[in-house]
Structure 1
Amino acid sequence: MGSRRDFLEKLSISAVSLPILYSPASVFAACDTPYEGRILRVAIMGLGNYGTRVANAMQDCKRAQLVGVISGTPSKITKWQAEYNIPEKNCYNYEDFDAIKHNPDIDAVYIITPNGLHCEQAIRVAKAGKHVICEKPMAINAEEGERMVMACKAANVKLLVGYRMHFEPKTVEVIRMRKTGEFGQPRFFQGQTGFVIGNPDQWRLNKELSGGGAMIDIGIYAVNGARYMLGEEPIWVTAQETKTDPVKFKAGIDETITFQMGFPSGAVASCLSTYAMRHLDRFFMTGDDGWVEMQPSIGYGPIKGRTHNGELNQPHITHQTLQMDGMAQLIFEGIQPLVPVDGEEGLKDLKIMDAIYMAAKTGGKVSL
């Protein structure tokens, strides 16, 4: 297994997307009713595996459309032009994409490049006057994240982060249940995220490009999941790092980190992020009046979950389709998901991960 993308894909089970029949359009964009409103016209930057997944998912969108590409590989641009009917005038490379400033046919750019490139690319997109959608982690640390937030505010454009789980039906149902008190006071969250990473030469194991190892790549799901399932922001973290293969996982690339978070109510979280263990994709939360377990909790295919009330049975809908339609609603109609997907949300996760790395390095408790 070579990467987080492979890991999530292998967790997936092929399924035909089903229409949403149970949720208001204010939460989910995909619905049966015809849509005749404004379309968010998107250029994808970074035409790798996940960029392809997003492009394919967008073919089912009603409010968002793929109209452009940005890549450093000419052959990929040519392939995408043919496959997705993208006009030549909407194709750019990493050197000349600032010219999108003069292209009225592009509203937003979805940045799906290695983490270490996000900050500067996002700032350039913002200066070009286009909305920024950035894959998570939004940046490699909070300092870069703050620069991105400030740049987008200065340019008066939106900065959104690819938190697809914030649109996933079963996840949203769990958040709704927590918000309406069906679990009582949340007390404990456990998040297990991990896989065995493959190719040692890939960018995820390059500190400059990735910004870290398993924690920043897949541990972010547990950090974010703890926050939306407990409904609070952590006030302290502790962490411990284990490394069994210092050749493959060089300095600055974490192999396994276990981390704990404490919250104002007294709730606690215990999480694991790893590149060296299989079959780890589970969230669990318990409260005074109920509990929820999700396994798989973050894979691309059908999420499975159960609560004290029984199985979660919301239909599977391609996450990225929901995400892109939901972001179009947010940009054009101001409709917010139950959990934010903006730059401030991404910055919160980055600050927590910075603290986790510090705690793992020092062995102490780090206050937030």
Structure 2
Amino acid sequence: MENRRSFIKKSGLFLSAALLPFPGCIASTSQRKLGVALVGLGYYSTDLLAPALQETDYCELRGIVTGSPEKIPVWQRKYGIKDSNVYNYENMDSIASNPDIDVIYIVLPTGLHAEYAIKAANAGKHVWCEKPMARTADECRQIIEACNKNRVKLSIGYRMQHETNTKKIMTWAKTNPYGPIKSVVSEAGYNGSTINPWKLKKEMGGGAIYDMGVYPINAARYSTGMEPVAVTATQSTNRPEIFTEVDETTSFQLEFPGGIMVDGKTSFGESLNNLEVTAENGWYYLRPMQSYTGVQGKTSDGLNLPPMRKNQQAVQMDDDALAIINDTEVMVPGSDGLKDIHIVEKINESAANNSKRILI
């Protein structure tokens, strides 16, 4: 249980305005790196984001927000984080006066995303929010509204859309090199013998459909370049003693314009990592389609899609940093995260109503 007592004072440091990024500027190696503060120091921050921030060109780890005081000295020793850039959940609002921090990255359980993304926006900092964006579509809208109101950029952490082979799939959705798309199979899941406790709680945004399901949902949308019009879904569990509140496995079929059908599946009890696109004149796939490394694929005419060598999270954060530095549109805006959560809600509605076909 995290101890949320106040344990650090806000910074009084001042940074010359001449070093700050400004709208329309061109990024270069001399550009001051953006300062990133990670909110929540669990596995994803500790093992993936913090190391990736050591490989970025346009942003760097400068701050942390945590409710676990014992983690602070470990992070400070490892990453040289100043006392003035350490916050807890109660005093996070005071980050507003800290010029060291340009971006706040929300890496908390899904059910807490809206609360802390809105706090970050109200502090006047740009917001990076891990996927899934929030527990409900209404919460997604609240985040978007807060960012718009405070004139800060909002990016959702869909790292796959920054990955080389995934970007090629997204391009092919527009160019149709193998003819019109006919059908798609989109699956993501893992066989979890142990599940993080919060992922079993409905109020925290737990369940396979949230945690892993947004991968095949998002892939269904970017691989077709379209938005679904209807869905049917089923949910089940082989471990009812564990999955008392949320789904262990969800299977769904999304209907897209032009008769395109997408068969999707996500699970905490089955290893799934596959995106297959069948077109009129051929096919292509990514296997794995959402792993942290090694995303690769093939096409029906023998083209190999080799893995990207760069760190996915580093590329993602640099892309998002450049959007801030150059004042351009982010690659994955809040509207994209909102669309997925709206679909998640419709999937849950269909499953709760005996696989009823639900319009989206």
Question: What per-residue deviation string (whole Å, max 9, x for no partner) do you get for residues 53-108 of structure 1?
Answer: 11101111101111100000112121111111111101000111100011111111
Partner of 2:350: 359
Partner of 2:54: 59
Partner of 1:347: 338
Confirm or deny that 1:284 pairs with 2:276. Answer: yes
- Conserved 8 A contact 1:70-1:77: no
SS state at 2:111 partner: helix
- Any gaps of 5 or more consecutive residues in structure 1? 1-32
- Conserved 8 A contact 2:37-2:65: yes
Post-superposition shift, 1:254? 0.3
Letter in 2 for 1:188: S
Distance 1:286 1:148, change over 3 A: same
Letter in 2 for 1:183: Y
Partner of 1:244: 238
Post-superposition shift, 1:178? 2.9
**Which residue of 199, 209, 212 maps to 1:215?**
209
Letter in 2 for 1:57: A
**Which residue of 118, 134, 139 maps to 1:123?**
118
Partner of 2:136: 141
Partner of 1:260: 253
Post-superposition shift, 1:276? 1.3
**Which residue of 96, 99, 102 maps to 2:94?**
99
- Conserved 8 A contact 1:169-1:316: no
- Structure-2 separation of matches of 1:247 and 1:261: 30
- Structure-2 separation of matches of 1:164 and 1:181: 24
- Structure-1 separation of matches of 2:92 and 2:329: 29
SS state at 1:191 partner: strand
Letter in 2 for 1:111: I
**Which residue of 222, 226, 230 maps to 2:220?**
226
- Structure-1 separation of matches of 2:334 and 2:275: 24
Post-superposition shift, 1:212? 3.3
- Structure-2 separation of matches of 1:128 and 1:240: 41
**Which residue of 155, 180, 194 maps to 1:160?**
155
- Structure-2 separation of matches of 1:57 and 1:182: 34
- Conserved 8 A contact 1:178-1:184: no
Letter in 1 for 2:136: N
Letter in 2 for 1:245: R
- Structure-2 separation of matches of 1:194 and 1:320: 20
Partner of 2:317: 324
Post-superposition shift, 1:219? 0.9
Post-superposition shift, 1:316? 2.1
SS state at 1:265 partner: helix
Distance 1:331 1:109, change over 3 A: same
- Structure-2 separation of matches of 1:188 and 1:288: 9
**Which residue of 168, 172, 186 maps to 1:177?**
172
Partner of 1:187: 182
Letter in 1 for 2:111: G
Post-superposition shift, 1:34? 6.6
SS state at 1:292 partner: strand
- Structure-2 separation of matches of 1:198 and 1:88: 39
Which of 1 and 2 has greater Rg?
A: 2
Distance 1:182 1:46, change over 3 A: same
- Conserved 8 A contact 1:229-1:285: yes
SS state at 2:231 partner: strand
- Structure-2 separation of matches of 1:159 and 1:132: 5
- Conserved 8 A contact 1:240-1:257: yes
Distance 1:170 1:336, change over 3 A: farther
- Any gaps of 5 or more consecutive residues in structure 2? 1-26
- Structure-2 separation of matches of 1:200 and 1:177: 36
- Structure-2 separation of matches of 1:103 and 1:223: 38
Distance 1:172 1:335, change over 3 A: farther
Letter in 2 for 1:47: L
Tell which has more relative contact order, 1 or 2 (C-alpha 8 A, sep 6+): 1
- Conserved 8 A contact 2:188-2:215: yes
Distance 1:324 1:224, change over 3 A: same
SS state at 1:42 partner: strand
Distance 1:334 1:285, change over 3 A: farther
- Structure-2 separation of matches of 1:314 and 1:199: 29
Letter in 2 for 1:41: G
Confirm or deny that 1:43 pairs with 2:37. Answer: yes
Post-superposition shift, 1:282? 0.6
Partner of 2:304: 311
Distance 1:40 1:241, change over 3 A: same
Partner of 2:21: none
- Conserved 8 A contact 1:200-1:248: no
- Structure-1 separation of matches of 2:92 and 2:143: 17
Post-superposition shift, 1:200? 5.2
Q: For this pair of structures, how many residues does the alignment match? A: 331
